[in-house]
Chain A
Amino acid sequence: MSLFRICCLIAFFCLSAGVRAQDSVNVDILYIEQKIERPPVLSNLVSWPDDEGLQGASLAINDNNTTGKFLGQIYALESLIFATDHDRDDALEQIRQALADHARLVVLNLPASLLLDVSSLDDAQDDLLFNAQAADNELRQADCRPNVLHTVPSRAMHTDALAQFFTYRKWRQIFLIEGNRASDKALAASMRNSVQKFGLQIVEDKTWIEDADMRRTASTEVPVFTQSSKYDVVFVADEDRDFSQYILYNTWLPRPVAGSAGLTPVTWSPVIEQWGAAQLQSRFRKLSNRDMSSRDYANWSALRSIGEAVTRTGVADTELIKRYILSADFELAGFKGASLSYRDWNGQLRQPIQLVHANAVVASAPIEGYLHQLTELDTLGSDRPETQCESFSLQ
């Protein structure tokens, strides 16, 4: 379904909500996306839906409007989508103009550097920006911003989830393979931090050599590459899914593979069925004709957070919404088994992280046994006492 048709559908749905204009609270949300340029990868099977992110946002707008019908609240989504090669300065200027006239509610699907530039704009200081894409740990630490909340989990939350599971299973010695792209380096660095945090051990730390056609030669190349005398699990950092899928079953020692292939920590996956998730999955499939992805879910949870805040406060004021979201009263049912809420030291949405493979959920982190004074969800990612974020606050 084309983007234009989606926007029309959203507008139509909002108009037909049947609430008298003068009684209603109007909530206008801006969706900003820069299309991700995906590098060429070995397998033709790796593909990414073109409307990823926007469909998650659309489902949430529909959910908010169904509830809003009973409360006199109408939600509308406006979108600003840039091509991968759109001039950066021009994109920033268009965004600045969109944010200029009043304090807005915005969900961002942007890489970290552009997100930081947007959040630094003068016109963005009174806005509430939701990061639904960038998993960079630094955005929750030294690069945190007072006007940015994060619904997508950080890489740290994902690698901590894996480290907890490894500890629980006693897979203490890890063979780490790092891909060659910047995102792979970031993921591997995050895993090294998690290994240290949970007291595990990296026994081999190698960078992948890109010379072979893995589709033909995986069974000869990979065993040699992973030859070592002792390890319990192989962790692979390969966010673009270029080579990691060929590591499985080809390791020198017969060992589970985790990370970007095999046992994968996710924000969302079609295999999550518990906790009422089957209902969210089926509503999403009816809307979009495909499965709901992690980025769809991160957008969904951002817009549902806004919906929940407006439902409980009755107003669409950006500042009041932000205060409510960061208050102790805020709760969001996110179909992951626990109530979701935001960390008030860095704006990160705390949430369970499922570890999955292609056909089932393997485990749900925080793994049972990890204790915390306030909530076990804070054993994943950076906790309050260790935060390097200084500029996030309610001012």
Chain B
Amino acid sequence: MKSSMFIRKTIALSLSLAVYGLCASSVWAHWLYVSNEKDDTISIIDASTNEVINTIEVGERPRGVTLSHDFTRLFICASDSDTVQVMSIADNKILFELPSGEDPEQFALHPDNRHLYIANEDDAIATVVDIETREVVAQIDVGVEPEGMAVSHNGKYAIVTSETSNMAHWIDTETQEIVANTLVDQRPRDAEFTLDDSELWVSSEIGGTVSIIDTETKLIKHVINFEIPGISVDRIQPVGMELTSDGELAFIALGPSNHVAVVDRASLRVKEYILVGRRVWHMALTPEEDKLYTTNGVSGDVTMVDVATLRAEKTIKVGRYPWGVAVLPKEHVPQQ
């Protein structure tokens, strides 16, 4: 009798653990937040099943999305609503809005987790907002059509790229003033610092190149060109970039050529072009940097690329014209 009771209890316990395991599978997976520019929504993807588990309605024309450094909040540029929305990760509710200036497109969060640098595309301005006081602390005149934003990991510089003025502006974050300007090729869209902040990478969409700028001198030290057999040069339009923390690889989204270039950072040569969806613009790496997710605006989907093999493995349908993507590490995914 005792042994059968024991067996029954064991079975019951195992069954409940198994059921618990099934229900809670998403607790062990990263989540991705993808902004759908034309649907005014955010798609949430579970990275273990690579399926959309939720779609949240947000403001108009959502583009840039960024997580707070403590992973409790998602910031959303709702461009046509002229606001930055702050969403709670715990329950997907919009907590409040930040004064962003008009037509905010993209932004970067300072390492202090408090100051948000926002590009106001229509007004040739960058707005700096204090998230705690919810006030504008500075508005900086920049070039025509600012878009790309970056803040160095050491917090010293904020970068704004002006698409029509073809410049990367260097802002000193203590004085909130522009201290230098670097001219790049036509239509710079995105800016990324290397982990040690020694280099700033800037993509030029119409120029078709990526410029690597020395942070110390503010001068371009190298320009990367791209060439994909069978694809017209005009379609190779670099936009988003992701650099791995180990300093080995850089991924460059090449727009309507539908490919992501993989740059070997030791030689600065392209080692591979990966075919993803249509009009690939922005990307995000998982925290382990073993998977890369790309947003493909025209095909309305997200591609998962395996970093080890450099192969596209899965396509996930989202809303219309996915634009930005942010990765929430699994430790911070809200309990179900």
| Pair A338/B234 contact, Cβ less than 8 Å | yes
Residues of chain B with a CB closer than 8 A to A308's CB:
166
Going nearest first, the 9 A-B pairs with the smallest beta carbon separation are: A67-B165, A333-B206, A333-B186, A333-B187, A338-B234, A70-B181, A339-B206, A66-B144, A331-B186
B228: min CB distance to chain A, Å:
15
Cβ of A311 within 8 Å of any chain B Cβ, yes or no, is yes
Per the CB 8 Å criterion, the residue count for chain B at the interface is 27
Residues of chain A with a CB closer than 8 A to B163's CB:
276, 279, 333
| Pair A70/B167 contact, Cβ less than 8 Å | yes
| Pair A71/B234 contact, Cβ less than 8 Å | no
Interface residues on A, range: 20 to 34
Residues of chain A with a CB closer than 8 A to B185's CB:
331
Cβ of A376 within 8 Å of any chain B Cβ, yes or no, is yes
Residues of chain A with a CB closer than 8 A to B187's CB:
276, 333
Cβ of B99 within 8 Å of any chain A Cβ, yes or no, is no
Cβ of B162 within 8 Å of any chain A Cβ, yes or no, is yes
Query: Bound state CA distance, A338 and B186, in angstroms?
Result: 11
| Pair A339/B167 contact, Cβ less than 8 Å | no
Query: Bound state CA distance, A37 and B164, in angstroms?
Result: 35
Cβ of B300 within 8 Å of any chain A Cβ, yes or no, is no
Partner of A279, one of B121, B141, B232: B121
Cβ of A254 within 8 Å of any chain B Cβ, yes or no, is no
A388: min CB distance to chain B, Å:
27
Cβ of B124 within 8 Å of any chain A Cβ, yes or no, is yes
Residues of chain A with a CB closer than 8 A to B277's CB:
none
SS of B interface (majority): loop
Per-residue CB contact flags for chain A residues 281-318 toward chain B (1 = under 8 Å, else 0) read 01100100000000000000000000010011000000
27 A-B pairs (CB sep. < 8 Å): A63-B164, A66-B124, A66-B143, A66-B144, A66-B165, A67-B162, A67-B167, A69-B141, A70-B143, A70-B165, A70-B167, A71-B181, A276-B163, A276-B187, A279-B145, A282-B122, A286-B122, A311-B183, A312-B183, A333-B164, A333-B166, A333-B186, A333-B187, A338-B234, A339-B186, A339-B234, A376-B234
B328: min CB distance to chain A, Å:
30
Query: Bound state CA distance, A308 and B166, in angstroms?
Result: 9
Interface positions, chain A 329-363, Cβ under 8 Å from B, are 331-333, 337-339
Residue of A nearest to B181 (CB): A70
Query: Bound state CA distance, A67 and B124, in angstroms?
Result: 10
Cβ of B178 within 8 Å of any chain A Cβ, yes or no, is yes
Interface positions, chain A 354-391, Cβ under 8 Å from B, are 375-377
Residues of chain B with a CB closer than 8 A to A70's CB:
143, 165, 167, 169, 178, 181
Cβ of B59 within 8 Å of any chain A Cβ, yes or no, is no
Cβ of B208 within 8 Å of any chain A Cβ, yes or no, is yes
| Pair A376/B165 contact, Cβ less than 8 Å | no
Residues of chain A with a CB closer than 8 A to B181's CB:
70-71
| Pair B207/A331 contact, Cβ less than 8 Å | yes
Query: Bound state CA distance, A375 and B232, in angstroms?
Result: 8
Given known contacts A283-B122, A333-B206, A339-B208, is B167 in contact with A63 (CB within 8 Å)?
Answer: no
Partner of A67, one of B144, B186, B208, B234: B144
B310: min CB distance to chain A, Å:
28
Interface positions, chain B 146-204, Cβ under 8 Å from A, are 162-167, 169, 178, 181, 183, 185-187
Query: Bound state CA distance, A66 and B145, in angstroms?
Result: 10
